[in-house]
Structure 1
Amino acid sequence: MPCLGVLGGMGPAATVDFMSKLVALTPASHDQEHLPVLVASLPQIPDRSAAILGQGKDPLPALLEGLRLLNQAGVGLITIPCATSHHWYDNLSAQSKAPILHIARATAQRIAQGGHAMLLATRGTIASGFFRDELIAQGMTVEIPDPETEQITVDDCIRLVKEGRAPSANQLMERLLERADARGIRTFILGCTELPLAARGIARDGLTLIDSTLELARQAVEHGLRQGWNRQPIVDVPMIDHPG
């Protein structure tokens, strides 16, 4: 049965947040109207940002193994609720039978043409440039945090969410947005899937927070509903071969 595949665990809380948004975005009055989803939550995949910066192990083999599991299970579309992993998007897509949604592309496509925004993301995502390139292609001018001040706060927000300390991350995010707002930045791209959890509940007049997790989930739901995956009975789920 075709369904949505999720390559997650990067990190676990971000994957749960993505799943929650999938459910919230799906128009359903009972269980059977929701989309079927297979999740491979693999938190042992090496750190993506560290690898891009030349400070850690290459995560591509582990990412490809996760894709293999999902493709073997027969999923019809794959999402990866980890923005930094999209540095390897071309490599992953080339070896996946199922198409893979691109989180930065999904985010950029929801933004009105033009405008100015600050991209909040991991240092790896910023160094890679893929997210910024997608936003610029949409006509935006993109600012990145100062690496010695603002980016340290972004790093801390991501780390605190991964540690299960979202309230502390929320306080840091509030201060970061307040300082940036004071110098005229009113739109922020939450370009790491931990950051929507750090920004949860923050609301300031005139401030726009664009949630990349939400936009990825929105495109996934739209695709699944167009395919009618929520209307197909479970008839045969392929068995997954295990090594050894």
Structure 2
Amino acid sequence: MGKVLGVLGGMGPAATVAFLARVQALTPAEQDQDHIRILADINPQVPDRQRAPDAAEAMLGRMAMRLRDAGAQVLAMPCNTAHALTAGIRKVGLPFIDMIAVTTEAAVAGGARKIGVLATPGGEALYTRTLQARGAKIVRLTGADREAMMACIRAVKAGDTGEGPRAEMRRLAAALVGAGAEVVIAGCTEVPLLLEAEEVSAPLVDSAEELAAACVKACR
């Protein structure tokens, strides 16, 4: 028997649903019973991770406790920015798969040392720390591109995954490659809803894909 996965989701809802589909797609299975049992709390009411971090952290801790009490044995959270607020989650005493850590590992695995990051300012700060700890240098968006990135994320949250935000995300990825990035991290779970790997001229490391693969490995 595998372990039961508990997912702290809803940040945002579309990204969580896409993440659950990835876990299913990445699980080697020939029948229903080969798949992982998943308990998901898709809670879009988690306060804004950038503007109200204390309230968000407290709610995430309560969500983790409820998932544990419902039978979860391993926890994961498909939101990069919220990984700054994991103290309450870790207190519940279950293994927690760190999305930032597994994504950083994948980004540096091939020897790249200049890593571009498409993320919120909070997510970018987390990747800055983990990449530097691995001897890599982060390549950031600058100037107006930083607000353009947030506008793309807001578009996805509002249900717009059309050509406008898609073209903008392609442009932002190209800007990172132009600034020297050897690898680009999709460091916000909304990014892969707008950007395909083949649309980036450098390897694209998808944080949601890396987390889903790590969950499959931990729970099977």
Q: Same fold (TM over 0.5)?
A: yes
Q: What's the % identity of the aligned pairs?
A: 33
1:211 deviates by 0.5
The 1:181/1:144 distance shift into structure 2, 3 A limit, reads: closer
Tell me the distance in 2 between the aligned counterparts of 1:141 and 1:26. 33
Q: Which runs of 5+ in 1 are unaligned?
A: 226-244
Contact 2:65 2:89 in 1 (8 A): no
**Equivalent residues of 1:170, 1:200 under 8 A apart:** no
CA distance in 2, matches of 1:132, 1:185: 14
Query: Which residue, out of 168, 171, 193, partners 1:172?
Result: 168
Distance in structure 2 (CA, Å) of the matches to 1:174 and 1:194: 13
Instruction: Give the 5 Å matches for 1:36-55.
Output: 36-51=37-52
Q: How is 1:101-140 mapped onto 2 (pairs within 5 angstroms)?
A: 101-111=97-107, 112=109, 113-126=111-124, 129-140=125-136
TM-superposed CA distance for 1:169, in Å, is 2.1
| 2:41 is the alignment partner of 1:73 | no
Q: 1:88 to 1:179 in 2, by over 3 A?
A: closer
Residue matched to 2:60:
63
CA gap of 1:179–1:142, structure 2 versus 1, over 3 A, is closer
SS at match of 1:119: strand
Structure 2, unpaired ranges of 5+: none
Per-residue deviation, residues 60-94 of structure 1 (Å, max 9, x unmatched)? 1211121111011121100000111110123421x
Contact 2:114–2:180, Cα closer than 8 Å, also in 1: no
After TM superposition, which residue ranges in structure 1, 4 or more long, deviate above 6 angstroms?
A: none
Paired residue for 2:149, among 127, 151, 154?
A: 154
Whole-Å Cα distance in 1 between the matches of residues 86 and 41 of structure 2? 17
2:83 maps to which residue? 86
Q: How many angstroms apart in 1 are the aligned matches of 2:209 and 2:189?
A: 9
The equivalent residue for 1:241 is none
SS in 2 for 1:170: helix
Change (3 A) 1:179 1:114: closer
Give the letter for the 2:117 counterpart: L
Write the distance in 2 (CA, Å) between the matches of 1:114 and 1:201: 17
| TM-score in terms of structure 1 length | 0.82
Q: Which has the larger radius of gyration?
A: 1
